[in-house]
């Protein structure tokens, strides 16, 4: 083999390694949404942010929880926070955030993410192995502390519409919930989420 060919091959290898390094160094990007789906996702994110604005305003009126809190302080803060948000959102109902269009989009994303064996494993994890089957499906009610918070698959989280840090997606049975991570309230839910 001539030296030029060797150099060329070596160059290609170096470029390939460098390129793979760049890919690995970044958080994987999800496939882009169509313009119509993007509009639905944006509207969903806006509704989620609207909820967060309400709960942030309520929390701002409470004594802040220290980063070095005692257990009693954590319990008291959570309880007060729940009571205030529940009172402020007394009229909230299923579908306020998960509108029919948003639910349709999210179902399609989950279905596309979990195919074949992945789908079977997701259904097993959520429907059979989980320890959260006793969570009552009621908006503006607390997610019971005694119930497992099922791990959300990271590959799915990268594809679902992003949420403000105060909110979390959670699977419970065949439903997808929005749960407030601090006050533990079920903010909204959609049914038939699993593929």
Query: In b/e form, how buried is each residue of 164-183, taking b as 16+ CB within 10 angstroms?
Result: eebbbbbbbbebbbbbbebb
How many residues of this chain bind other proteins (CB under 8 A)? 41
Q: How far is the CB of 114 from other proteins (least distance, A)?
A: 10
- CA separation, residue 136 to residues 23, 48, 172 (Å): 42, 21, 9
Find the binder of other proteins among 86, 107, 168, 173 (CB under 8 A): 168
Distance of closest approach, residue 46 Cβ to other proteins, in angstroms = 18
Does 21 bind other proteins (CB under 8 A)? Our answer is: yes
Burial class from Cβ neighbours inside 10 Å (0-12, 13-18, 19+) for residue 34 reads: exposed
Residues 6+ apart with CB under 8 A from 190: 94, 95, 98, 102, 103, 106, 107, 175, 176
Which residue's entry shows tokens 């533990």?
184
What's the token pair of residue 174? 């065949």
**Nearest-angstrom CA–CA distance, 7 and 50:** 58
Contact characters 117-156, other proteins, x per CB under 8 A: -x----------x---------------xx-xxxxxxxxx
**Contact between 17 and other proteins (CB under 8 A)?**
no
Residue 51-90 contact track with other proteins, rule CB under 8 A, x = bound: --------------xxxxxxxxxxx-xx------------
Binding segment for other proteins among 4-12, 33-41, 98-106, 180-188 (CB under 8 A)?
Answer: 180-188
Among 53, 136, 158, 192, binds other proteins (CB under 8 A): 158
Residues that bind other proteins in the complex, under the rule CB under 8 A: 21, 23-28, 65-75, 77-78, 118, 129, 145-146, 148-158, 162, 165, 168, 181-182, 184
């Amino acid at each position: 083999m001539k030296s030029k060919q060797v150099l060329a091959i070596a160059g290609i290898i170096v470029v390939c390694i460098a390129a793979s390094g760049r890919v690995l160094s970044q958080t994987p990007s999800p496939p882009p949404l169509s313009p119509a789906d993007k509009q639905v996702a944006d509207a969903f994110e806006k509704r989620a942010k609207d909820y967060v604005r309400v709960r942030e305003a309520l929390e701002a009126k409470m004594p802040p929880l220290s980063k070095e809190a005692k257990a009693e302080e954590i319990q008291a803060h959570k309880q007060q926070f729940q009571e205030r948000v529940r009172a402020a959102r007394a009229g909230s109902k299923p579908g306020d955030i998960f509108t029919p269009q948003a639910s349709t989009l999210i179902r399609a994303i989950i279905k596309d993410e979990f195919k074949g064996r992945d789908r079977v494993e997701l259904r097993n994890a959520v429907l059979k192995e989980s320890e959260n089957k006793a969570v009552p499906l009621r908006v503006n009610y607390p997610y019971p502390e005694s119930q497992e918070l099922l791990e959300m698959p990271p590959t799915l989280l990268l594809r679902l519409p992003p949420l403000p840090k105060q909110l979390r997606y959670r699977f419970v049975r065949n439903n997808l919930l929005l749960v407030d991570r601090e006050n533990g309230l079920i903010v909204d839910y959609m049914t038939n989420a699993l593929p």
